[in-house]
Amino acid sequence: MTTAEAPAAREIPYVSAVNEAIRQLMEADPDVFIAGEDVAGYGGVFGVSRGLLGEFGERRVVDTPISESAIVGLGVGAAAAGLRPIIDIMFMDFMGVCMDEVVNQMAKMRYMFGGKARLPLTLHTMAGGGMNMAAQHSQCLEAWFCHIPGLKVVMPSGAYEAKGLMVAAVRDDNPVIVVNNKLSLGMKAHVPEELYEIPLGKANIVRPGTNFTIVATGRMVHESVRAAEMLTADGLDVEVIDPRTLQPFDTETCVESVRKTHRALVAHEAVRFGGIGAEFAAQIQEEAFDYLDAPVGRVGAPFAPVPFSPALEKHYIPTADTIAAEVRRLLGKQG
């Protein structure tokens, strides 16, 4: 077959990549099952589990009562007993209802049993705004969970990452929280058909650059790439890094980049104050202080609930323009 005749790389949407990962994991391992509100008959509010009930049956695709505490408790018990549950909490905002199970049971059990209890539990949830779902269905709360020892937290930026990180999460013997982004669900990317893992704790350099570093999470990776392209007009060659895993954070890759570029900014959709970007910025400044020509900048949402109004929400969520403006402000402070 000539190059001209070679088939084009398969592109599928983010949501399909998550669905495919779960389906293939369930095919490969009978201990994997999914449970949550509306995951069976309805196929999930966002379509993540669509079609799985017909293929695997109600013992492995489990509709639960509307009780997040009970759902996570089910997952903790099943994982401790040797299964590999995928627990779906449809909106990240609802995690507040089950914080005791997540923080005091799921995260602690392996430690409290001296490592004898394995907790291969994947908690899947949806975060982010942009769909006019208002203050109780649009938050990004990943910083809560990155603060808890015993939990791993991943945030895929696209379809390729969504599948590879889900596979790695389910195969891990520790609790992993997978935070997907609602507004990204229709975004397409090349996704291999076979099962593949993206190693947890390893960042990806999405766009190489030489004189500025942006570390961005989730959908802000794409906004940061757009910002980088805009900033070429300012003579900047911006490197964009996607951590992929927020906890553990790949400090080494980010610090290595800053030692080259001498300037950095962290961008996330969550509220700026107390966001995970503050921790990233602190680690970069601790490890690369002597290489920095400016303070590490941060971009995030304002300290307010997510608005319902489409016009206000559009203004609330950071964009490529927001990120580019902050880069220019940081450089302007250098004279």
| Domain edges within the chain | 11-190, 204-332
Segment holding 290, helix H or strand E: none
- CA-to-CA distance for 162 and 293, rounded, in angstroms? 35
Q: How many other CB atoms are found less than 10 A from the CB of residue 196?
A: 14
Q: How large a percentage of the chain has pLDDT more than 90?
A: 95
Predicted pLDDT at 332: 87
Q: Which of 20, 37, 68, 101 is catalytic?
A: 68
State yes or no: pLDDT of 72 exceeds 70. yes
Looking at the domain covering 204-332, what would its CATH class be? Answer: alpha beta
- CA-to-CA distance for 130 and 118, rounded, in angstroms? 37
State yes or no: pLDDT of 7 exceeds 90. no
- CA-to-CA distance for 261 and 111, rounded, in angstroms? 40
Predicted pLDDT at 106: 97
CB 294 within 8 A of CB 330: yes
Predicted pLDDT at 237: 97
State yes or no: pLDDT of 230 exceeds 60. yes
State yes or no: pLDDT of 6 exceeds 70. no
11-190 and 204-332 share one CATH topology?
yes
Active site residue 222: no
Per-residue pLDDT averaged across 44-61, rounded?
Answer: 97
Cis peptide before 120 (omega within 30 of 0): no
State yes or no: pLDDT of 138 exceeds 90. yes
Topology of the domain covering 11-190: Rossmann fold (3.40.50)
Predicted pLDDT at 3: 44
- CA-to-CA distance for 293 and 86, rounded, in angstroms? 44
State yes or no: pLDDT of 333 exceeds 60. no
Query: For 159, how many CA atoms within 13 A lie in the half-sphere containing its CB?
Result: 19
Active site residue 68: yes
Ramachandran quadrant class, 47 (left: phi over 0; alpha: psi -120 to 50; beta: rest):
left
Predicted pLDDT at 9: 85
**Backbone torsions φ then ψ of 26, nearest 5 degrees:** -70, -35
State yes or no: pLDDT of 334 exceeds 50. no
Nearest to 297, CA basis, from 265, 259, 262, 329: 265
In a 3-state reduction of DSSP, which class is residue 112?
Answer: helix
State yes or no: pLDDT of 5 exceeds 90. no
Handedness of CA 59, 19, 200, 104 (dihedral sign): negative
Per-residue pLDDT averaged across 129-155, rounded?
Answer: 97
Predicted pLDDT at 31: 98
Average pLDDT, whole number, for the chain? Answer: 95
Predicted pLDDT at 311: 96
State yes or no: pLDDT of 1 exceeds 50. no
Q: Which of 137, 161, 268, 326 is catalytic?
A: 137
Predicted pLDDT at 169: 98
